[in-house]
Each structure stands twice: as structure tokens, then as C-alpha cells.
Structure 1
């Protein structure tokens, strides 16, 4: 039987690319976004519908509509997310709440809404799109880091809870992809913050660090990340984590393969902004 995937955050970036790839591969696709628009051209096997991860009623309606259309959901890709950029002290609490509402609580609400369906079928797979920022910390994105670290912990723990029910959980970790709207929204969020002047030198130094990181990137694309998501959905393994882009692999390997002292010395040398 044709399998069905529900993907959040399909208006651009990884979500859009993944929806089109799954559709090309013959899957039924429930492509969800806050403001539904045309996606991937005309596909009879694609349902585009509204889902705002901060609105539980839209989650319920999108899941119900997808099941009514295709009969069953086999895979859920929790992709919707965004990143706050800026120092913690300059970020209003309301923006912090939004960051966790989208990147953590929104994922949990989608899982909560679809779990009864998966339990009933004794099958199903969650693919949660994390980030390199869920593995290692970087200056100026402490809140995004915090949300993705939380997502990683939730996903790993959930995988143990659901394994006995025949339900899988996987984590895809991309980083360094420039062809998304992620950076644009992060910039807009940063422009709305009010940061004490004491941080000016730090911010200038941190910006230089990020400029160096951008210059060294290998131009990973959303399509490459979508392929990793598709592979995770179809490889038939119980592998938990998938590093989706080459750019972040050295940092991931350093974090996971070094002693704490070695890792911190490595990161402080490269990531601590030069101030003064």
C-alpha cells in the first residue's frame, strides 16, 4: 500500500523540499504550513493544509483531514521551526516562549495528536528535524541551542518509550544550509531585541565568528537535507541520529568523540569572539 507522510513547516526550506521529494517517490503527502499555498505544482497525492504548531486546533484538524483523505499516516516529520539570534539578556521573555512553543512544545503537540493513531496501528515513525545546534553550543544562539537540545533529549527518551509499541523515533541534524528563510527570520527577530550597549564589542566579535563559519560552508542545500529525511524514513533501521550536512560533521564528531576538556578547548579557541 502507498505510504503517507505528514510534514510540518512546508512553506519553504527543508519542509518544502521533503514534501516534493516524498511526492516524487510516490508517497501520499500531507504538506502542512501556517498559511497554505501551492506546493510542488500539481500532485494528486499531495494534500496542502493549514497547521500552525502554536495552534492545537489546527494540528487536530490537519491530522484528521489527512487521515480522512489517505486513510492512514505512516510517518510524521516534525520540521517546523525557527531560530532566535542575539544575546540572552537582550531577548524579551515573550520571544523565548515563542522559541520553545514552536521548536519544542509544537513538536510535542503534533506527537500527542498523532500517537493514538500510531498506537492503534502498532506502527509509525517520527522524524524530528533538529540541528547542529542541538549538539554543540554557539555564541548568539543560546535560546535556539536550548530549544534544540531539549528536542534532542525529548526525542531520544521518547524513542525508548515507543519502541515496544512498534513506533520509531529518529532525529535529523542539518546545519549550514543557506537556501532557506531561516536566516531571514532570525535576522528579523534580532532586529526586534533591545540589547545593553555593554554587549556591543561581543556582538561585533561574534558576528565575525559567524562570518567565518559562513565562508567555510560547503553550500549544502535543502534538497540534500530532504534526501536524508527520506532515507531515514525508508532505510528500515532503528538508527536514532542522522547528521544531514557535511559542514557540521567536524563539530559533531568533536563534541561526541572528544573528552570534555579537549572539546571545550577546541570550541573556545574557535568560537569565543575576539573582544577589545
Structure 2
């Protein structure tokens, strides 16, 4: 019986790299995204099926699930990967932006999970892998909405794992650090807070310090995909898969020294008074 994985947000970055890797490992991949029209890369694989799925639209999720079940009699793994980040001063954000951040990263992930859970229950097995981030365990400046959404994913996933264990369904978390993808491009929305002059000193210090951070080594999307594959196949009770030296270092420091020391470390790194 072939192994089948459903991936959301597969149009680029981690989602696309994961789809390719699983296809190369002879899995049947259902790669979903909001728009499949311009997706040429994944069409090269015979064992990748492209489907339209918008995680913020329940009707779209239900339709995608129905189309999958018309062709396949089971699903082994659901990889909730769709997401984006809003970057900027919280005071400059709008309610629309706040809601959009959570609609995709949290409520969309929850909706996909809820709609696909009956499939796993009927099978009496399955695995849900959620893309979190080191930003679900530690925080950086100007990403308050993104961190809030990823902290929510962490709490949701961990608590959900208790009830789903009764159905022989597992939940795992992928926690990448800084990754070489288009995350800072089309997957990140920049909020312009230039009109808030009181933040000028803070922003100047942050921007100068951020250059050093951006020049530090980063993981590739393929590095993350390898850990997704490990999570899907290692049959272990391990829940969190931390990827990248930066993520490992930051999370290890916070675990060993506590939240207060970790916050002071970040403030020092970004020259924040």
C-alpha cells in the first residue's frame, strides 16, 4: 500500500521542497496551494498531484478533501505548512492585518486539521505535522503577530496530541530557524511604521543589528524537508523537530537559562535599551 501525504502551502519554499523529497522517496504526494496555474516545478513528478486549497476557506478545504478521497482510500500524513509573517511595529498594524495573520497561520491550520480528522479516525491511525518555528518558542523584535500565531500553533498542537492519542493519531511540530526561502519575500508582509517617530531610535538600532543576524548561516528548505520526512517515518514519540544551528542555540539557551535571560540575550543582540 502506497504512502500518501497531503501538504498545504506547497507552492514554494518548505512546502515545495517537502513535496519533492517525499515524491523522490516514492510517496504519493497531494500538494495543495491557493493557485496551481503557475506551478510548473511540481508538475514534473508523476506521483505529485496538485490541488487547489485555500486554508482560509472551509469550502475549499472540504472540496479538496473530497477530491482526494475520490482517488485514494487513505491518508498517512497531513502536513500543515501554509503560513506567512507580518513584520513591523504592532502599533502600525490594522485589525485586518491581525486577523489575516491568524486566519492563515492558526485558524486555517485548525480548519484543515478538523476537516481531515474524520479520515484519520476512520483509519484508526494517521500523523499530523504542523509547521511552527523557533519563533513558537522564542521571540524577536517586530514580529509580535507572527510569534503570537506560532505560540498558538505550539499550544494547540501539544494539547491536541493528548486527545488524538486515544484515536492512534499522532501530532508533531517542525520548528525551523532562519531558512533560505522566499519567506522574507512574498511570504512576509512588511508594515510601514515610518510615521511613528517615537520609535526612530529603536528602529535604527534594530536595523543596524539585524544586518549581522541576516548574514549568519541559514538552513535551506531542503534541510527542513529532510526533518519533515524524518518526523513522518521515524515512528518515535518525539514531538518537536528543531532545524538549524540558530534554532538549536536559541532554544537551548532559553531552556537552560529561562525566559528572562533569553529576553535579555535578544535585547543585547539587537542593541535594544
Superposition TM-score, scaled by structure 1 size: 0.93
Q: Which residue of 2 aligns with 1:155?
A: 157
Q: Which residue of 2 aligns with 1:63?
A: 65
Q: Which residue of 2 aligns with 1:268?
A: 267
Alpha-carbon deviations, 1:94-148, whole Å to 9, x = none? 0010000000000000001000111111101000011111110110101101000
State the 1:248 CA deviation: 1.7
User: Partners in 1 of 2:92 and 2:241 — Cα distance?
Assistant: 33
State the 1:211 CA deviation: 1.5
Q: Which residue of 2 aligns with 1:111?
A: 113
Residues 137/188 of structure 1: CA separation in 2 closer, same or farther (3 Å cut): closer
SS at match of 1:47: strand
User: Partners in 2 of 1:239 and 1:84 — Cα distance?
Assistant: 30
Q: Which residue of 2 aligns with 1:183?
A: 184
Alpha-carbon deviations, 1:39-93, whole Å to 9, x = none? 3343222110101111111111111111222221110000000000001100111
* Unmatched runs of 5 consecutive residues or more in structure 2: none
User: Partners in 2 of 1:121 and 1:172 — Cα distance?
Assistant: 24
SS at match of 2:179: coil
Tell me, yes or no, if the aligned pair for 2:86 and 2:189 is still in contact at 8 Å. no
SS at match of 2:79: strand
The structure with more strand, counted as a fraction of residues = 2
SS at match of 2:146: helix
Q: Which residue of 2 aligns with 1:16?
A: 16
Tell me, yes or no, if the aligned pair for 1:89 and 1:195 is still in contact at 8 Å. no
Tell me, yes or no, if the aligned pair for 1:139 and 1:272 is still in contact at 8 Å. no
Tell me, yes or no, if the aligned pair for 2:171 and 2:239 is still in contact at 8 Å. yes
Q: Which residue of 2 aligns with 1:229?
A: 228
Within a 5 Å distance, the mapping from 1:71-86 to structure 2 comes to 71-86=73-88
Residues 195/70 of structure 1: CA separation in 2 closer, same or farther (3 Å cut): farther
User: Partners in 1 of 2:114 and 2:258 — Cα distance?
Assistant: 37
Q: Which residue of 1 aligns with 2:141?
A: 139
State the 1:188 CA deviation: 4.4
Greater alpha carbon shift after TM alignment, 38-47 vs 86-95: 38-47
Superposition TM-score, scaled by structure 2 size: 0.94
* Unmatched runs of 5 consecutive residues or more in structure 1: none
The number of residues matched between the two structures is 271
State the 1:256 CA deviation: 1.6
State the 1:195 CA deviation: 4.7
Q: CA RMSD in A?
A: 1.6
Q: Which residue of 1 aligns with 2:252?
A: 253
1:243 aligns with 2:242: yes
User: Partners in 1 of 2:258 and 2:244 — Cα distance?
Assistant: 23
State the 1:273 CA deviation: 2.8
